[in-house]
């Protein structure tokens, strides 16, 4: 199967593959020791293939080959100038705040109603009764960040 992409589309594909690889690699690194290989090389194979075609597509200036292992990678200049680093930092920030809000809201919801009562609620009732806890934490962090969190 062959796919026709413009130069701009291929550059966007490189960015998407890089970001997907970053997410997968982060999750895989969390679940393995330094001596273990990647748990699923399907992703690495696709990254390698897409990156290795950059020269042929006319984007060889943004992909380099590692002299030690022969693996293609995006240049540091491209990562920074393309906004990839900013996108990933914004993503991490958003995930952090959403996860924190969700976890604190759910904790407070459980404390307030108890597991038994919650297990007997219909999903609509759960959502309705948990939403105020979510709103409380969302407003708190929007207004004060982490300032008021104490141990």
Look at the block and give the residue holding tokens 């970053």: 22
Residues contacting residue 133 through CB under 8 Å, at least 6 positions apart:
104, 105, 106, 108, 109, 112
Q: Is 39 helix (H, G, I), strand (E, B) or coil?
A: coil
Contact (Cβ atoms closer than 8 angstroms) between residue 73 and residue 66: yes
pLDDT digits (tens, 9 = 90+) for 131-146: 999 999 999 999 999 9
**Angle CA(100)–CA(133)–CA(144) in degrees, nearest 5?**
55
pLDDT digits (tens, 9 = 90+) for 61-104: 999 999 999 899 999 999 989 999 999 999 999 999 999 999 99
pLDDT digits (tens, 9 = 90+) for 25-60: 888 776 655 555 545 688 999 999 999 999 999 998
Residues contacting residue 55 through CB under 8 Å, at least 6 positions apart:
63
């Amino acid at each position: 199967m062959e796919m026709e992409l413009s130069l701009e589309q291929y550059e966007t594909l490189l960015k998407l593959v890089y970001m997907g690889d970053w997410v997968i690699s982060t999750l895989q690194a969390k679940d393995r020791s330094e001596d273990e290989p990647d748990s699923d090389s399907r992703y690495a194979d696709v990254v390698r293939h897409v990156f290795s075609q950059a020269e042929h597509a006319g984007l060889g200036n943004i992909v380099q080959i590692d002299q030690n292992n022969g693996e293609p990678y995006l240049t540091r200049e491209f990562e920074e100038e393309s906004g990839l680093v900013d996108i990933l930092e914004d993503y991490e920030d958003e995930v952090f705040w959403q996860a924190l809000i969700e976890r604190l809201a759910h904790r407070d919801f459980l404390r307030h109603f108890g597991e038994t009562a919650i297990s007997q609620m219909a999903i609509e009732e759960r959502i309705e009764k948990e939403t105020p806890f979510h709103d409380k934490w969302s407003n708190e962090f929007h207004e004060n960040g982490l300032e008021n969190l104490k141990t």
